[in-house]
Amino acid sequence: MVMAYYRAMLRQQGSWGTSNRRRRMVRKSNVLSNLVLVAVFLSCVAVLFAQDSPSPDHGSMHLSGSVTALHPAAKVTIPAEANRPVYKPARCDAEGNIYFRAYQSDARKVPVVRADSAGKTTQYSLDSDADFATATAYDFSILPSGDLYQPVQVGKDVYIVAFDKQGGIRWKTRLEKQFWVSRLVVFDDKSFLVIGTEVQPQSGGPQSGGNDTRTYQPVAALFDRNGRLIRNVALGTDAAADEKHGRPGTDLKSTPPLLALLGSDGQAGADGKVYLMVRLDPPVVYVIDVAGRTVRSFNVNPPDSRMAAVSMSLDNNKLAILFRHAFQGMSHGEDIISIFDLSRGTEIGRFSAAAELGTVLACFRSNDFVFIGSEQGSLAIQHSNANTPASNSMGDGKHTH
């Protein structure tokens, strides 16, 4: 899905100039384009299988600290959703509803699905608006209230679309800045952190010798509900210090690499700040306030050097990050979920999750880890916790609807 998006992105970028320039771009920048596509695919795999997978042998993991195993608890089938791959991220709201996007052959506008505690679903679709007939939308953001938003690409324009609880479009706004959108993280109904790619001509004069001199710069910016650019968000090793001392913080040398930023994951916390995990080595979580200022950052070291951060989930003052072995293809063994204290940025717990639980972590609430799994040919909501299997079976261990 990410590969298809960036192929489309690069094709459309060619239309910014004359037909001769488009041909030169295709001919002269194939190496750059292919590197971008391959790197995005490797660093931001968007399709994660929900069905059970065999556990390959990756050798012994040398994990520091104790690891607590998660065990399956209640399971709720989603009858309207056949078992198939599920795109990440998946999310939940304060009422425990689960939000996800499941694979379909046309990946440009996959509807977001909300599944409640009984497995009943509601779809959020762009099809009701003729302006979005040729749109692409690959990400979404959820507030604890259940308000859902999507970043939508239409040609060179980016829209933010807000939905109502019935899945209809509540409002839409076109951003005043043109770029290629990748991520959206919502602070509230008025403030939006948007991440993407901007194509810029290289400074120093016009193109020469038929070479394409355009550069691809990361975009991380705060927009309001009217689409106005409030400020560019400074990220990097010195971003918090720059903000504290009133420096602009726009030095590109300290900005995270483009592909790491495009593969980021973020959510708004209970404190009103956004926690943005950028897939650096090691991953870094940037804490951004509603004014778009980076107030601090902290590293989240993987439990094993061969593991990569896949997704994150917030619960009040805690952050859960799912780590998985890199370069495993579509099968996987045990995932490790590390829990971090948000106020200190320190790891306070570590859990292992077997493949039977599902591969997409949708929600983390205290001792309840919720995955999207499968049951009898359908997708399912799989709850898990650190209780013993005997304890779980004594309660409502498994429900199917």
Predicted confidence (pLDDT) at residue 328 exceeds the cutoff of 70: no
Average pLDDT over all residues of the chain? 82
Cβ pair 160, 223 in contact under 8 A: yes
**Dist CA 343 CA 346 (whole Å):** 8
The per-residue pLDDT for range 255-274, each reduced to its tens digit, is 789 999 999 999 999 999 99
**Dist CA 144 CA 121 (whole Å):** 18
The model's pTM: 0.81
The per-residue pLDDT for range 75-93, each reduced to its tens digit, is 999 999 999 999 988 999 9
**Dist CA 54 CA 355 (whole Å):** 8
In this structure, is residue 24 part of a structural domain?
yes
The per-residue pLDDT for range 353-373, each reduced to its tens digit, is 999 999 899 999 989 999 999
Report the candidate in 4, 46, 39 with the shortest Cα–Cα distance to residue 265: 46
Residue 149 has, within 13 A of its CA and on its CB side, a CA count of 27
Please write down the long-range contacts of 321-329, taking CB distance under 8 Å and 24 or more positions apart. Answer: 321/277, 321/283, 322/353, 322/361, 325/58, 327/42, 328/56, 328/58
Q: In terms of pLDDT, which residue wins out, 124 or 64? A: 124
Q: Output the CA torsion sign for 208, 214, 215, 220.
A: positive
**Dist CA 371 CA 362 (whole Å):** 5
Q: Which residues contact 215 (CB under 8 A, 6 or more apart)?
A: 199, 200, 201, 202
**Dist CA 365 CA 370 (whole Å):** 8
Domain interval for residue 140:
2-394
In this structure, is residue 365 part of a structural domain?
yes
CB atoms within 10 A of CB 19: 9
Q: Output the CA torsion sign for 200, 24, 31, 47.
A: positive
Dihedral pair phi/psi, residue 99, rounded to 5°: -120, 135
Average pLDDT of span 392-398: 54
Task: Check which CATH number belongs to the domain holding 112 and give it.
Answer: 2.120.10.30
Total domains in the chain come to 1
Cβ pair 84, 103 in contact under 8 A: yes
Give the pair of three-digit tokens for residue 101. 């996007």
Q: What is the full DSSP assignment across 174-192? A: E-SS--EEEEEEESSSSEE
**Considering all CA atoms of the chain, what is the largest pairwise distance in Å, rounded to the nearest integer?**
74
Beta bridge partners, 369, equal: 364, 384
Report helix angle 30-43 to 19-28, nearest 10: 60
Q: In terms of pLDDT, which residue wins out, 253 or 136? A: 136
Dihedral pair phi/psi, residue 28, rounded to 5°: -95, -20
Report the candidate in 43, 68, 73, 42 with the shortest Cα–Cα distance to residue 371: 73
Cβ pair 361, 369 in contact under 8 A: yes
In this structure, is residue 36 part of a structural domain?
yes
Predicted confidence (pLDDT) at residue 318 exceeds the cutoff of 80: yes
> Among 126-135, 173-182, 208-217, 370-379, which stretch is predicted with the lowest mean pLDDT?
208-217
Task: Name the residue with tokens 């094993």.
Answer: 304
**Beta-sheet strand order (sheet of 360-365):** 71-82, 378-385, 368-375, 360-365
In this structure, is residue 49 part of a structural domain?
yes
Cβ pair 70, 341 in contact under 8 A: no
Per-residue pLDDT band for 390 (boundaries 50, 70, 90) equals low
In this structure, is residue 400 part of a structural domain?
no
**Dist CA 96 CA 75 (whole Å):** 14
**Dist CA 15 CA 21 (whole Å):** 9
The per-residue pLDDT for range 272-302, each reduced to its tens digit, is 999 999 999 999 999 999 999 999 999 999 9
Task: Name the residue with tokens 């209640």.
Answer: 74
Counting residues of the chain whose pLDDT is more than 70, the rounded percentage is: 72
Compute the 3-state secondary structure of the chain and give helix, strand, coil in percent, each to the nearest 5: 15, 40, 40
Amino acid at 180: W
The per-residue pLDDT for range 44-65, each reduced to its tens digit, is 444 443 344 434 333 344 555 6
Predicted confidence (pLDDT) at residue 156 exceeds the cutoff of 80: yes
Predicted confidence (pLDDT) at residue 226 exceeds the cutoff of 50: yes
Per-residue pLDDT band for 22 (boundaries 50, 70, 90) equals very low
Per-residue pLDDT band for 326 (boundaries 50, 70, 90) equals confident
Which pLDDT value is given to residue 109?
85
